[in-house]
Amino acid sequence: MGSAKAHYDCIKAFSETNFTEDLKIIDVPTLVMHGDDDQIVPIADSALLSAKLLKKPTLKVYEKFPHGMCATNADVVNPDLFAFMSKG
């Protein structure tokens, strides 16, 4: 929950900021998780591009999962997140 202005400002910042150069310099293993049914942030415009720019990506795509998958599908997402973090 948040104010309408906060939501607007967040979307504006994310849609107008180019993170390409930032992603290119990340050199640690990075987990990119995304639902392929995200209607807010389409996977083709975000996760797939991010994984290509990262040096050590692990891309995990969740079939038919929505934008809020970490809340709506925590039972599936959390074990994958913990497994990635445990690789050490």
- Tens-place pLDDT, residues 4-63: 999 999 989 988 999 999 999 999 999 999 999 999 899 998 999 999 999 999 999 999
Question: What CATH number should be reported for the domain holding residue 44?
Answer: 3.40.50.1820
Q: How confident is the model at residue 2 (pLDDT cuts 50, 70, 90)?
A: confident
Euclidean distance between CA atoms 52 and 72, whole angstroms: 27
Instruction: Write out the residue range of the structural domain in which residue 17 sits.
Output: 4-86
Give the chain's domain count.
Answer: 1
| Residues 81, 33 contacting (CB under 8 angstroms) | yes
Which residue type does 16 have? E
> Tell me, what's the pLDDT at 46?
94
pLDDT at 88 over 70: no
